[in-house]
A and B are shown apart, each in its own frame.
Chain A
Amino acid sequence: MSIDGDRSRRAVLKAAVALGGASALSACLDRTDDDPVPTGDPAAKPPRQHAWREYVRHDDHGNSRLPAHQVLLYLDFDVGGPPTDADRDALAASLAALDRAYAWRHEGLLHSIAYSPAYFDRFDTPLPEGIDLPEPTALSPFESPTFDRQDAVLHLASDRADAVLEADRALRGEREAANGVSVPSLTEVATVDSRRTGFVGAGLPAANQDAAGIPDSKPVPEASPLFMGFEAGFRGNQATEDYVTVDTGPFAGGTTKVIANLRQRLADWYDEQSHEERVMEMFSPGHAENGLVEGVGDNLGSSSGIDRFVDSVVDDAREHGRVGHAQKAARANRDADGNVRLLRRHFESTDDIGSDQRVASLHFPSLQRRISAFEAVRRAMNGTDLTEATPAIRQRVNNGILEYIFVRRRGNFLVPPRRHRVLPTPRPE
C-alpha cells in the first residue's frame, strides 16, 4: 500500500470518529488492509475497569498517551425498577463479547461502564457509606450546565479508530460482529440516549481545527495533543490509578468518574495572545517569566512543575493581573501528604451535543476516589478569591482559561470493579 493511500485511510478514520457518521464509518470499514486488531481473552482482563495506565502508550518521560480515538455511549436502561436476571444476562453478554473481540490494550480496546446516581435510585438500599456519588451540580458561579442523568455511560477507547467504531456499531446494533466476534447489541436492554466521540494526541487537533471555535489562522500546532496548544496530563500532576481506587466495601477496586463537556472558543486565545501570555494563563505567570514552557511543553518532562508557583497565586494576581489554570487547580489537587487527587483523562471533540455542527469541545472524564475531590478542585479553578483580591482578575477574564471554555454538560458516575460491572445493586455481594 502506498504511503498516500495509507494517509488517506487514516484521514478517513479520524474523520469518521470525529463525525460519527454512518457513511464515513462504512467507508473506513471497507478498508481492512491494516494490521489485524488483536483479539482478547476474557480471563486476562485486569480486575479494575479503569486500569488503563499499563495498557496505553507512554511518551519518553513516562507520561501516558491516552488512546487516540474514544466514544462515550450514554445509556438508559429499559427497565425502570431493579434489573432482572435477563437484563443482567443481556448486558453481560455484550460486555463479554467485547472482552473476547479485543485485547485489553491501546491497539485493541479499553472499555469501562459506569453508573449514575439516578441508576442507583431504583433500588431501596442506598449505596454504602464510603461511596461518594452525589447528583451532578453547577460548580462555578457562572455556569448552568445540562446534567447528564442517564443510567450509565460506556466508554470505549483505542488507538485504532476501526476498533472503536466497530465496537460502537456492534453495541448499537448496527452490525453483528466486532473484530470477527459476534456482539449482542446493547439495545436488548438499553437505549443509547447520547453518543459522543473524540480524539486526542499530536496531529489530531491540528487535523480537526476547521471546527467552529478555532480561528481561521490555523493556530493549533501539529505537535499539540489538545486544541489549546499544550500537553496535559504529566505523570507528576496526575493521581495514580491506585490512589483513585475505592479501597473498601463492595465497590473496592472501583472509582468515581465525572464527565463534563466543554465548548472551546479559541479566537482570542490564539489571535489576541502571545505564547507567553498563553503560558501565563494555562500554567502560571512564573512559568512565563522563567520561560519554562517551550512550544507545546514537551520540555517539561514528567511534571508541569506547578507546585512551586501555587503559593504565589494571590501575589501573581496582583502583580501580573493574570493567573494560571494549572496553578489555581493545583491548590486543591493535593492531599495532606502532597499526593495528587485527580486522574484526568480528557480528550478533544468536534461534537456539538444536540446539533450536527462541528464545534471544538472537550470531553473531560476525571477519576477520583470521591466526587467531592473533583468538586473541590473544580471550584478552586474558579479563582473567586482572586477576583476579590484584584479587579484585574475577573470572573472569566485573566482568570486562567475560563474565558475560553464553556461548560455544557456534566454527569457523575460510579465505575464498579470489573466483577460488578453488570447492573450492580448498591450492595453487590
Chain B
Amino acid sequence: MKRRELLRTGAALSGALTLAGCSSLIETRAAGVPPVPENRPDGVYYPSHVEGMEMVGTASSGDYTVGLMYSYPHRFWNVNGESVALTEIDADDAVHLMASVWDTDTEAILPDTGLSAEIYREGSLVSQEAIYPMLSQPMGFHYGANFGLDGEGEYTVRLSVGAMSTRRTGAFEGRFADPTTVEIPFEYSEAAKEDIAFRTLDDQVSTPGAVDAMAMTALPDAVAPAESALPGRVLGSATSDDARLIVTALDTPPAGVDGDGTYLAVSARTRYNRMVIPAMGLSGRLARNGEAVYDGAFERTLDPDLGYHYGAVVDDIASGDELTLSVTVQPQTARHEGYETAFGGLMGGMPDVTVAVP
C-alpha cells in the first residue's frame, strides 16, 4: 500500500491504524542514481553503478530455503515476450527486495518457482505482489521488486514459493511440487540502508564486460556448472547475444525424461559471470548430411548434475552432425542494468548458433 493510501485508510477508520513512522519516508538515494549509460553496446556491459545488498534473513520450509535481501530501489527492465520495458524507480519506493529460492538439501538455486511477497507492519498489510524473476550481474538469477514502506521499523515479509512446473529430472524428480510460505522479519532503517555500498563506475561504463559476482556466505550462487564439470560428453559451445550455450550429450536421458536415445542438454550461462540463464524458449535442429534427424523443442529442465538446462532426446548423434539452436523466446526474466541489451533484450536478436558434433 502506498503511503497516501495508508493515510486515507487510517482516516476512514478514525484512527484505528497507527500512523507512527509515516513521516520519515523521503528517499534521497534515488536522486543520486546516475542516468542509464549512453552508447550501450548490444551485449553484456559494465553498468553505470553497482549497489551492494544486505542479507535480511533466510527461512526454510518443505523442500525450499528462501533468502531475503534488500538494497536501494533499482531501475530494471521488464521482459514480457518480445517487449522489454524500463521500470523507473517510483518516488514512493523505499527498497529493492530480492529473494532467492534454493533446494535445502543440495543448495541448487531454483528458477521458475514463482514467488510472491506480502509485507506486514504490526499486522497491517503494507504490500503484496507477485515478484518478477530477474538477472543481475552481481547476483545472477533472483526474484526482485521495488517496494514502498511505511517508514522505519519492524516489518514481516511473508514469501510464498510456488510449485515448479519446469521438468525435473534425476534426484529432483517429484521434488519442488508443493507451494510453501515462509516468514522473515525485516527491520528497516534508513541509516542501515544508506550503509549499503553504492559505487559508480567510471571509464569502464558501457564497455563490454561485467562486474564481479557478489559472494554472500548465506546465499548459494546462481552460477552454471563449469564446462569441465558438466556430465556427459561436451560437444561444443557457441555464443548468441552474449548467452553462452554449451551442448553436452548423455548416452541415456536422465530419469524423468520420456524417450530412449541420446540426451542433448544445453546449458545456458552469461558470457562473463557464468550466471544461469533460465526461462528461454529454445528449439534445435540436428542435421546429418543436410537432413534433419531431430527438429523440435529443447525443454526447460532442472537436474541436480546438469543444473538448469534445456534438453531433448534424439535417436543418436554421429560425428559431423550439426546442431542448430534457435532461441524462440528470449529469457523471460527482468534485467538489471548491464544485461538489458544482451540475450535478446532491448536491441533484440539472439541469432541461431550451430555446434558441430566432433
Residues of A that sit less than 8 Å from B by CB: 138, 141-144, 210-213, 215-216, 263, 265, 268, 320-322, 352, 355-359, 384, 387-388, 390-392, 394-398, 402-403, 406
Q: Does the CB pair B160–A142 fall under 8 Å?
A: yes
Measured CB to CB, the closest approach of chain B to A276, in angstroms, equals: 13
Q: Majority SS of interface residues in chain B?
A: mixed
Which of A210, A212, A216, A358 is packed against the most chain B CB atoms within 10 Å?
A212
In the complex with contacts A141-B165, A356-B13, A358-B13, A390-B130 CB distance below 8 A: no
Query: Which one of B5, B81, B124, B161 contacts A216 once the chains associate, using CB atoms below 8 Å?
Result: B5
Q: Does the CB pair A144–B13 fall under 8 Å?
A: no
In the complex with contacts A216-B4, A391-B279, A384-B125 CB distance below 8 A: no
A141 and B332 alpha carbons, distance in the complex (Å): 20
Measured CB to CB, the closest approach of chain A to B224, in angstroms, equals: 17
Q: Does the CB pair B124–A355 fall under 8 Å?
A: yes
Query: Which one of A213, A320, A357 contacts B124 once the chains associate, using CB atoms below 8 Å?
Result: A357
In the complex with contacts A210-B8, A322-B81, A355-B125 CB distance below 8 A: yes
B82 within 8 A of A: yes
Query: Which one of B9, B83, B300 contacts A391 once the chains associate, using CB atoms below 8 Å?
Result: B300
Point out the residues of chain A lying under 8 angstroms from B83, CB to CB. 321
Chain B contacts with A in 3-62, Cβ cutoff 8 A: 4-6, 8-9, 12-13, 16-17
A403 and B131 alpha carbons, distance in the complex (Å): 9
Q: Does the CB pair B2–A144 fall under 8 Å?
A: no
Q: Does the CB pair B300–A141 fall under 8 Å?
A: no
Q: Does the CB pair B329–A395 fall under 8 Å?
A: no
Interface residue tally of chain B, by bracket?
A: 35 or more
Measured CB to CB, the closest approach of chain B to A328, in angstroms, equals: 15
Point out the residues of chain B lying under 8 angstroms from A322, CB to CB. 80-81
Q: Majority SS of interface residues in chain A?
A: loop
Measured CB to CB, the closest approach of chain A to B20, in angstroms, equals: 16
The 4 A-B residue pairs with the shortest CB-CB distance, nearest first, are A321-B81, A142-B162, A395-B114, A141-B163
B181 within 8 A of A: yes
Which of A210, A263, A322 is packed against the most chain B CB atoms within 10 Å?
A210
Measured CB to CB, the closest approach of chain B to A64, in angstroms, equals: 31
Query: Which one of A142, A357, A387 contacts B125 once the chains associate, using CB atoms below 8 Å?
Result: A357
Q: Does the CB pair B179–A396 fall under 8 Å?
A: no
Q: Does the CB pair B179–A138 fall under 8 Å?
A: yes
Q: Does the CB pair A321–B12 fall under 8 Å?
A: no
In the complex with contacts A210-B9, A395-B162, A396-B162, A143-B332 CB distance below 8 A: no
Which of A352, A395, A397 is packed against the most chain B CB atoms within 10 Å?
A395
Measured CB to CB, the closest approach of chain B to A280, in angstroms, equals: 11
Point out the residues of chain B lying under 8 angstroms from A387, CB to CB. 165
A352 and B149 alpha carbons, distance in the complex (Å): 19
Point out the residues of chain A lying under 8 angstroms from B6, CB to CB. 212
Query: Which one of A215, A265, A356 contacts B16 once the chains associate, using CB atoms below 8 Å?
Result: A356
Closest residue to A404 on the B side, CB-wise?
B130
Point out the residues of chain A lying under 8 angstroms from B118, CB to CB. 406
Query: Which one of B9, B161, B181 contacts A357 once the chains associate, using CB atoms below 8 Å?
Result: B9
Chain B contacts with A in 319-347, Cβ cutoff 8 A: 329, 331-332
